[in-house]
Amino acid sequence: QVQLVESGGGLVQPGGSLRLSCAASGSTLSGYTIAWIRQAPGKEREFVAAIRWNSRTTYYSDPVEGRFTISRDGAINTIYLQMNSLAPEDTAVYYCAASSGVITSNSYNPGAYRYWGRGTQVTVSS
């Protein structure tokens, strides 16, 4: 069982930056893939980025490639999402999610992740 707690959301102007954090506890993360997934009002959950804990291999959706960076700190079991050049369409609740045994082709599928945090709101507006 993995517990995930997100933080770092807030209100930012277009073009600004935010860094989200996801603190994990309850289990070793060896063998896990951890993802950031977002949901805007009235829309389905959308994959943003993921990282494999052991290899640090990363995956990004096309809308965020080159603007967002996912990383992790093994010493404190925390996963980060650095978000730059934010735009209004990035406004959403951002969730941290994790699962073990996620195959590469399924890394982009929100349904592949078993454990979820409660989310943190990111609002991009002037």
Determine the Cα–Cα distance for residues 22 and 118; give it in Å rounded to an integer.
Answer: 10
Determine the Cα–Cα distance for residues 6 and 14; give it in Å rounded to an integer.
Answer: 22
Question: pLDDT by residue (tens digit) across 12-51?
Answer: 999 999 999 999 999 889 999 999 999 999 999 999 999 9
Q: For the chain, what percent of residues have pLDDT higher than 70?
A: 100
pLDDT at 101: 83
Cβ count near 75 (within 10 Å): 6
Question: pLDDT by residue (tens digit) across 77-90?
Answer: 999 999 999 999 99
